[in-house]
């Protein structure tokens, strides 16, 4: 059975964005990246969100110093891929084709996106044949 993608809130995603951009960071550094004032309440909120992300397996905590540091355990590409595969399973009977067609027809792809997609299609290995195929 396919695994369910990690459910990430907008604020959790904002924390991951900071970690993806800066690598390891303390709670105070992450709080400063999210909020302008960095109040005690905001610090506590970030701490709780990091605990949730850690429980989801999205961040790793380094406890080796007094100020714990956090790093992302999941990459942006993995998070996107899991979410798209979930959407494809749910809405498109597992096929990515309707998603790609929609993006192409909706004009949401830049010329560079089209070039990249074309290159990936051209370089992709042929699909594996099933045993029942002649």
Residue 58 is part of which domain span?
Answer: 1-91
Whether residues 87 and 105 fall in one domain: no
Predicted pLDDT at 33: 94
* CATH number of the domain where residue 69 is located: 1.10.10.10
* Residue 89 burial by Cβ neighbours in a 10 Å radius (0-12, 13-18, 19+): middle
If you average pLDDT over residues 4-8, what whole number do you get?
75
Q: Which residues pair with 69 in a beta bridge?
A: 26, 62
Whether residues 83 and 45 fall in one domain: yes
Give yes or no for residue 79 having a pLDDT over 50. Answer: yes
Say if 131 falls within a structural domain: no
If you average pLDDT over residues 68-80, what whole number do you get?
95
Q: What is the pLDDT of residues 35-51, one digit of tens each?
A: 999 899 999 999 999 99
Whether residues 30 and 70 fall in one domain: yes
Helix 10-22 and helix 27-34, axial crossing angle in degrees, nearest 10: 110
Write down the pTM of the prediction: 0.78
Whether residues 10 and 69 fall in one domain: yes
Whether residues 116 and 54 fall in one domain: no
């Amino acid at each position: 059975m396919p695994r369910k993608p990690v459910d990430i809130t907008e604020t959790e995603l904002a924390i991951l964005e900071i970690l993806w951009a800066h690598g390891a960071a303390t709670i105070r550094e992450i709080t400063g990246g999210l909020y302008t004032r960095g109040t005690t309440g905001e610090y506590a909120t970030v701490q709780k969100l990091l605990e949730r992300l850690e429980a989801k397996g999205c961040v790793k905590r380094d406890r080796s110093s007094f100020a714990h540091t956090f790093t992302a355990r999941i990459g942006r590409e993995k998070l996107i891929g899991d979410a798209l595969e979930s959407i494809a399973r749910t809405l498109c009977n597992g096929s990515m084709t309707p998603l790609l067609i929609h993006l192409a027809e909706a004009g949401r792809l830049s010329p560079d996106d089209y070039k990249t997609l074309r290159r990936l299609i051209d370089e992709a290995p042929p699909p594996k044949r099933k045993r029942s195929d002649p």
